[in-house]
Structure 1
Amino acid sequence: MITNTYYGPEGHGPYELIDIGTLELEEGGSIPNCRLAVAMHGTLNAAKDNAILVPTWYSGTSKIIEQGYIGPGRALDPTKYFIVVVNQIGNGLSTSPHNTSWDQAGPGFPKVRIGDDVRAQHQLLTGKFGITRLALVVGGSMGAQQTYEWAVRYPEMVLRAAPIAGTAKLTEHNALFVETLVEAIITDQGFKGGDYATAAEVAAGLKRHAKMWTVMGWSTEFFRAGRHRALGFDSMQAFVDNFMTGYFAPMDPNDLLAMAWKWQHGDVSRHTGGDLAVALGRIKARTFVMPISHDMFFSPADCEAEQKLIPGSEFRPIASVDGHLALFGTDAECLAQIDLHLKTLLATSA
């Protein structure tokens, strides 16, 4: 176990750590005393039909979801809905390589799939809250991967689904990019096969990781428009050093690698022998597929190809030159578009 002050309620709270017991894993093995860091907003009504689930994305925690997407008058309105934000396994708040003891600590952490996260969340919602229907499952990026997994795995439970900037099956292009993100970390001599003492020992690898995110997370139009200046940085170098590297530098490398493996292996067609059309055909939720126009990870074309396989779904693209990382809330117009689509979806009978 590694002590890392970056993770905790001081910077990412408030949230509740909930032990769901032993989680059996799809790749084999299990996580005993699996703990999920859960942030809850609003109140579950007597009928238990106003619950919204929001899973987190790569490197993100429940705090960024709260700050960017939840509030009175927003689509995710805690005065109307019981909003449950679950930090994915491996993100540093829930059970993760850096906060696990014994043989599962650090590089010994087992392989966890998107499906494992979703089964853990299902166990949480049904066991702790008695929720059997979800008014909405919505998530961005890896949160979208979990949203698709929910809609395919539990079609009767998910009434509405909104995968934002993500796909149900990772493309080869995306998988290759994830590989470069992984290599940026593991090729750092300070990584030591995952047996480093602190994240600071892997500073060079984390900086390379941040640079790759800068290149692909934003769009070429973001650079051309000088959007870094609108975000408060006089130069691109300052943006890379202070915003991007500053964001990733305190994170635990093994935690990032655990999430990257999940991201790289996201594929709902595992349920149907590799047939994506059959898998997406299982979805009964009223679904809005919401890519971001300038996303270079999960392109609108890739998202639309999947949307056409989902019965009764709608293609609702979001316009933003900030690309994939518009999910961070850097573009107010992007957030307004997402809010509008989610309000429309929630107003639609399911």
Structure 2
Amino acid sequence: MYENAYYSQEVHGPYEVHDIGDLVLEEGGTIRGCKLAVATHGRLNAAKDNAILIPTWYSGTNKIIEQVLIGPGRALDPEKYFIVIVNQIGNGLSSSPHNTPAPAGMANFPRVRIGDDVRAQHRLLTQTLGIERLALVVGGSMGAQQTYDWAVRYPDMVRRAAPIAGTARNTVHDFLFTETLCDALTSDPGFARGFYASPDDVRDGLLRQAKMWAVMGWSTEFFQQERHKALGFSSMEDFIVNFMYAYFRVMDPNDLLCMAWKWQRGDVSRMTGGDLRAALGRIRAKTFVIPMSSDMFFPPADCQAEWRLIPDAEFRPVETIDGHLALFGADANAIAQIDRHLRDLLAAPVP
């Protein structure tokens, strides 16, 4: 355990930290005194039927979601809805390897699955916030994995679901790519088997990860059209160092590895003996499947194959050349498309 100023109220607040008690994990470990960092916007109405849950994605926190998706006049309008953003376990704000005291912290932090996050969020919503129904669960990337898990695990609680740029069961291709992200970190001699003193010790590994994210996170069209220049960077070297590496260099490697491990193993069919059709057939929520057209992590074809297995679902792709990282909000047109889809979904009648 060590202090990392990046994971602070000054950078990502305001948020509140809730202790939900001991969380026994699917892999057999336990997070004692599991803490969830939660940011809320708006108020729960008297009927308690206006709650929206947003789980976070890999490396992301509540702050980027607030900046990209939430605001007055937007689909996710805090004047109409009670919006709850829960930072996933391992993201640095909630219980994570770097902020857990010895001996259970750092490389000894237990393995966490997507389902563990969802069960923890369910405990928070029902026992702490008094929420029994969700008007919408929406999340991007790993947030989409959690959205799918919510809709399958708690079908009577979720009225609408919007998985954005993510799948219900991770693919072999995506598993392999994510493994290279992990290897980039663990192969750095400064990683010291997960017991380094600060992210600076793993700077080479974090730089390698940043470059890999640049390759797969954006799209080939992004580079062909020199979108990095439109974003204010004079060259590709400038973009890699002052955007991609600047983003990752302050993050804790063990936290990133914790999230990557569960990302790789996201699979709602674990609840139905490996039968994906049966798992997605449990969904009762009105569902919009929203892929990014140029996403190389979660290609539209992979998302479309799952969409066909979901009752009463719509396929709503977003056209963008920003690839998976359109989630960051640099393409205003992509965000406008997401906003329109979410507005349509929230207006759709549900049982």
Q: What SS does structure 2 have at the residue aligned with 1:103?
A: coil
Offset from partner CA, 1:55-110 (integer Å, 9 cap, x none): 00000000000011100000100000000000000000000000000221100000
2: CA distance between counterparts of 1:113 and 1:197? 26
2: CA distance between counterparts of 1:159 and 1:174? 29
1:12 aligns with 2:17: no
Alignment partner, residue 77 of structure 2: 77
Q: What SS does structure 2 have at the residue aligned with 1:104?
A: coil
Q: State the one-letter code of the partner of 1:146.
A: Q
Alignment partner, residue 201 of structure 1: 201
Offset from partner CA, 1:271-306 (integer Å, 9 cap, x none): 011110000000000000000000000000000000
User: Aligned residues: percent identity?
Assistant: 69
1: CA distance between counterparts of 2:17 and 2:272? 34
1: CA distance between counterparts of 2:26 and 2:46? 34
2: CA distance between counterparts of 1:232 and 1:102? 43
1:303 aligns with 2:298: no
Alignment partner, residue 335 of structure 1: 335
Q: 1:46: Cα distance to partner?
A: 0.7
Alignment partner, residue 38 of structure 1: 38
Count residues in correspondence.
350
Alignment partner, residue 293 of structure 1: 293
Normalising to structure 2: TM-score of the pair? 0.99
Offset from partner CA, 1:215-267 (integer Å, 9 cap, x none): 00000000001000111101011000000000000000000000000100100
Q: State the one-letter code of the partner of 2:261.
A: W
Q: State the one-letter code of the partner of 2:195.
A: D
Alignment partner, residue 182 of structure 2: 182
Structure 1 residue runs of 4 or more that deviate by more than 6 Å after TM superposition = none
Q: How does 1:44-63 map to 2 (within 5 A)?
A: 44-63=44-63
1: CA distance between counterparts of 2:2 and 2:221? 40
2: CA distance between counterparts of 1:10 and 1:339? 28
Alignment partner, residue 27 of structure 1: 27
2: CA distance between counterparts of 1:249 and 1:269? 35
Alignment partner, residue 128 of structure 1: 128
Normalising to structure 1: TM-score of the pair? 1.00
2: CA distance between counterparts of 1:98 and 1:285? 36
Q: What SS does structure 2 have at the residue aligned with 1:54?
A: strand
Q: What SS does structure 2 have at the residue aligned with 1:83?
A: strand
Q: What SS does structure 1 have at the residue aligned with 2:98?
A: helix
Q: 1:2: Cα distance to partner?
A: 1.4
Q: What SS does structure 1 have at the residue aligned with 2:216?
A: helix
- Structure 2: which 5+ residue stretches go unaligned? none
Q: State the one-letter code of the partner of 1:266.
A: G
Alignment partner, residue 324 of structure 1: 324
Alignment partner, residue 281 of structure 2: 281
1: CA distance between counterparts of 2:129 and 2:48? 8
Q: 1:131: Cα distance to partner?
A: 0.7
Offset from partner CA, 1:199-230 (integer Å, 9 cap, x none): 00000000000000000000000000100011
Q: State the one-letter code of the partner of 2:173.
A: H
Alignment partner, residue 230 of structure 1: 230
Alignment partner, residue 90 of structure 2: 90
2: CA distance between counterparts of 1:31 and 1:205? 27
Q: State the one-letter code of the partner of 1:248.
A: F
1:162 aligns with 2:185: no
1: CA distance between counterparts of 2:185 and 2:302? 28
2: CA distance between counterparts of 1:192 and 1:128? 39
Q: What SS does structure 2 have at the residue aligned with 1:175?
A: helix
Q: 1:322: Cα distance to partner?
A: 0.2
2: CA distance between counterparts of 1:66 and 1:195? 33
RMSD, aligned CA:
0.4
1:114 aligns with 2:114: yes
Q: State the one-letter code of the partner of 1:311.
A: P
Q: What SS does structure 2 have at the residue aligned with 1:143?
A: helix
2: CA distance between counterparts of 1:14 and 1:328? 20
2: CA distance between counterparts of 1:160 and 1:143? 15
2: CA distance between counterparts of 1:29 and 1:258? 13
1:257 aligns with 2:257: yes
Q: What SS does structure 1 have at the residue aligned with 2:206?
A: helix
Q: What SS does structure 2 have at the residue aligned with 1:27?
A: coil
